[in-house]
Amino acid sequence: MQYRLTEDQQVFRQQVRRLADEKIAPRSVERDEKGEFPWDVIEEFRKNGIFSVFFPAAYGGLEADLLTCSLVVEEVARASATCAVILCGHNVGSLPIRKTGTEEQKNMYLHKLARGEYLINVGITESGAGSDVASMRTTAIRDGDKYVINGVKRFISMANVVDVLTVFAKTDPKGGMRGISAFMVEKGTRGFLVEKLEKKMGMHALPTCEVVFDDCRVNAENLIGKEGEGFLTAMLSFNHTRVLIAALGVGLAQGSLDYAVDYAQQRVQFGQPIASFQGIQFMLADMATGVEAARQLTYSAATVGEMEETNSARFASMAKYFSTDVAMKVTTDSVQILGGYGYMKDYPLELKMREAKALQILEGTNQIQRVIVAKSLLKS
């Protein structure tokens, strides 16, 4: 079923699906086992203009709407959630520049980012400031024509491979959320140190890092927007990218469901395919219903987010937590349908199950998404 998709969106979706099936899916398990960053996929994204969907036409982008961006992420995630997370990071890292950056900043970075010549992500999480962003302790103190950044960021995806990191730090240490500002910090800047690579349950091909800023000096021109506007910029960025994480959950769940359906029709027990047993049929029906419900909610959230309605944050959070919970449920049930084979690394479903768990945590845990939805309802 299509949800208000134009002919161009449908054609583009099929193009991305072919790319994902042919170039991404075949090595997804191998990349995870080796912990190998998918540079081959990055090159395919560059050649096929995938990065450009997030950027304005004036800077070499396709200027795609949020629904089209969601379709791209969904189709990539069918093949590899890890590779889809890279696109989401590219989006959220560049959003502050796109939304509040100066014309000089946009001209300096957006062309390169749209081509995929530069990679970008965001540095906001700290050990004591996850859901509670206002509690961050990283500081950026003005010193003449420079800002001096000090602090430690945790769980920063791709910090060791990106060319630019959008870093959030307090320019007013006592200002709470109103003291947070955003900065562009380029790879190789003195005092920008990747100290540790985390050992994760899944997404082994996606490096997750601890980043230390030790008297890291950046030009005052690297400030994105104005001092004290960083928290609002971050929240607006998350509203956008949470829709993409929801789409990622839909794609991951759909890929798992597709595999389980195919397996159930081929696996024979008691003289017949296990798909003929009502217990398996009920599982598949519930999985398919969950995926479709998540898809429709995600597309609705993308439509609302594009219009920037006042309740876009609510829809983004609803879609994020519902879709990623569905992804966890569907991948778990897919493993169950494969039985012992589902638990083996020779089959892709245990990988998808481990990837799904991460989606319930990143870009704001699903518990904090429920808080956002409830507060929005009570406020209205």
Asked whether residue 361 carries a pLDDT value surpassing 90, the answer given is: yes
> Given pLDDT bands bounded at 50, 70 and 90, which one contains residue 308?
low
Window from 85-94, 230-239, 244-253 with minimum mean pLDDT? 230-239
Residue-level pLDDT at 307: 77
Asked whether residue 1 carries a pLDDT value surpassing 70, the answer given is: no
> Given pLDDT bands bounded at 50, 70 and 90, which one contains residue 309?
low
Nearest to 247, CA basis, from 195, 305, 182: 305
Residue-level pLDDT at 376: 93
CA distance 181 to 178: 8
Asked whether residue 269 carries a pLDDT value surpassing 80, the answer given is: yes
Helix axes 66-79 and 7-19, enclosed angle (nearest 10)? 30
Residue-level pLDDT at 2: 55
> Given pLDDT bands bounded at 50, 70 and 90, which one contains residue 331?
very high
Asked whether residue 213 carries a pLDDT value surpassing 80, the answer given is: yes
Single-letter code of the amino acid located at 156:
I
| Contact present, 126 and 136 (Cβ < 8 Å) | yes
Mean pLDDT of 230-235: 92
Q: Which class is domain 7-115? A: mainly alpha
Residue-level pLDDT at 143: 97
Mean pLDDT of 99-119: 97
| Contact present, 123 and 149 (Cβ < 8 Å) | no
Q: What percent of the chain has pLDDT over 70?
A: 99
Mean pLDDT of 230-243: 92
Residue-level pLDDT at 306: 82
Mean pLDDT of 346-366: 96
Whole-number average pLDDT of the chain: 96
Alpha-carbon distance values, 3 to 10, 52, 68, 290, 359 (Å): 10, 23, 11, 16, 24
Residue-level pLDDT at 208: 97
Q: Domain-by-domain residue ranges, the chain?
A: 7-115, 120-227, 231-379
Mind telling me the catalytic residues? 363
Asked whether residue 88 carries a pLDDT value surpassing 60, the answer given is: yes
Mean pLDDT of 105-132: 96
CA 349 to chain centre: 20
| Contact present, 351 and 202 (Cβ < 8 Å) | yes
Q: Which class is domain 120-227? A: mainly beta
Window from 93-102, 141-150, 199-208, 300-309 with minimum mean pLDDT? 300-309
CA angle 223, 210, 166 (to 5 degrees): 20
Mean pLDDT of 102-115: 98
Architecture label for domain 231-379 = Up-down Bundle (1.20)
Residue-level pLDDT at 4: 76
CA distance 81 to 75: 10
Mean pLDDT of 250-256: 98
**Full-prediction pTM beyond 0.85?**
yes
| Contact present, 101 and 224 (Cβ < 8 Å) | yes
